[in-house]
Amino acid sequence: MKKKKLKNYLLLFIPIICLLTISLINMYMVGINNTFYKSYFNKQLTWFILGLGVFLLIRFVKPRLFFKFSKYLYYFNVLLLILVLFVGKTVNGSRAWFDFHFFSFQPSELMKFTLALYLAQILAREKQHGFKGELKFLFKAGFFTLIPSLFVFLEPDTGAIIIYLLIMLGMILVFKINWRWYLGMGLVLGLGIGTLGYLYYFNRDALISILGTSFFYRIDRILTFVNKDSFQLDRALMAIGTSNILGTKHFVYIPEAPTDFIVALSISNLGFISLIFILIAFLALDIYFLVKLFKTKNTKYKMFIAGFLMMFIFAQIQNIGMNLGLFPIIGLPLPFLSYGGTNIIVYFMFLGVLAEKN
């Protein structure tokens, strides 16, 4: 039994250690080339250590207790989302951080974890009893996802809202509702996107009055990304284009390099060989979580894993594609690689629950 448990931890942590190592090397190197990022290595290492401590704490306390108190964690997190709108620090046009001088805390990141816990807890109790049962299930899923999404919309933080919806979608897919509900949700989504597109192209003043200037700017950036008219993206592509298998000899400045453009930074610093290791590590983790999803019999854990997987895989595809100019820039960090304390600790919190044998 102990050997099986050790094997389980090795399969989980070997690719994570690979990603963390690449991240720390990049934080060190970017600090050498740009004094603004000089402290990032020490901070990132601190976040990794704290994240591991949180992981061990969850393993010690037992994840089932987090499910038991998920209601209180969820509503406390909603309260934090409200408070940050009034006393939060504004960064890049988004009021989303509590600034404690020594560190910053982003409650929208923590909501990914508490939302996944609470949705899995309350939705796993529902049983499919025809139309009414599925309607009740979908109402609960939509309602408890909508609440934090509305407050994050006011910050605004486009990436977090997308993640909340994906967590909900993952759980809906596991629940296996009737195909007519998927058709209905697809029609509603299509109508929403169509309305947004119509206002964007034919009545932008109305769209700005509804969404606000800051959120409109983010929508505008998403809808016009195909033009590649972005200084950030231009610098990222320049860094990638001037690199070889082992990196580049010439430093290329990339705005937000340690966060949004960590892949371009890694290719510039360590070469395309680092991208190969990154892709292999993520593939190993994806397979690990997929196997766990199919083997898990407990409905609550199965839904939690499904929600995490949707979020985790999307973050990989979106961030790497964003770095290559294939997808719009929405400020979504790459798990275990991008700089950021809250994001790293939250992913370790997920791991604490996901490592549970169930």
Interatomic CA distance for residues 217 and 224, integer angstroms:
10
pLDDT band at 2 (very low <50, low <70, confident <90, very high): low
Interatomic CA distance for residues 119 and 169, integer angstroms:
11
* Strand pairing class (104-105; 94-99): antiparallel
pLDDT computed for residue 27 by the predictor: 92
Average pLDDT over residues 227-255: 76
Nearest-CA neighbor of 114 among 147, 164, 82, 73? Answer: 73
- Confidence (pTM): 0.88
- Domain of residue 245: give its range: 2-354
Other Cβ atoms closer than 10 A to 35: 8
* Helix then strand then coil, % of the chain, to nearest 5: 75, 5, 20
The model's pLDDT over 118-176, given as tens digits with 9 standing for 90+, comes to 999 988 877 655 566 777 888 888 999 999 999 998 887 888 899 999 999 999 888 77
Interatomic CA distance for residues 100 and 89, integer angstroms:
10
Q: Name the residue with higher pLDDT: 70 or 250.
A: 70
pLDDT computed for residue 340 by the predictor: 84
Buried b (16+ CB within 10 A) or exposed e, 239-266: bbeebeeebbeeebebebbbbbbbbbbb
User: Is the distance from CB of 352 to CB of 58 less than 8 angstroms?
Assistant: yes
Mean of per-residue pLDDT scores for the chain: 85
CA atoms within 13 A on the CB side of 14: 11
pLDDT at 105 over 80: yes
* Distance between start and end Cα atoms, the chain: 14
pLDDT at 226 over 60: no
pLDDT at 65 over 50: yes
pLDDT at 1 over 70: no
pLDDT at 228 over 80: no
pLDDT computed for residue 227 by the predictor: 46
The model's pLDDT over 295-350, given as tens digits with 9 standing for 90+, comes to 988 889 999 999 999 999 999 999 999 888 888 877 788 999 999 888 999 999 99
pLDDT band at 218 (very low <50, low <70, confident <90, very high): low
Nearest-CA neighbor of 283 among 86, 14, 5, 8? Answer: 14
Average pLDDT over residues 194-201: 76
Interatomic CA distance for residues 291 and 265, integer angstroms:
32
Following DSSP, what letter does each residue of 230-270 receive, concatenated? -HHHHHHHHHHHT-BTTB-SS----TTTTTTTHHHHHHHHH
Number of domains in the chain: 1
The model's pLDDT over 4-27, given as tens digits with 9 standing for 90+, comes to 677 777 888 899 999 999 999 999
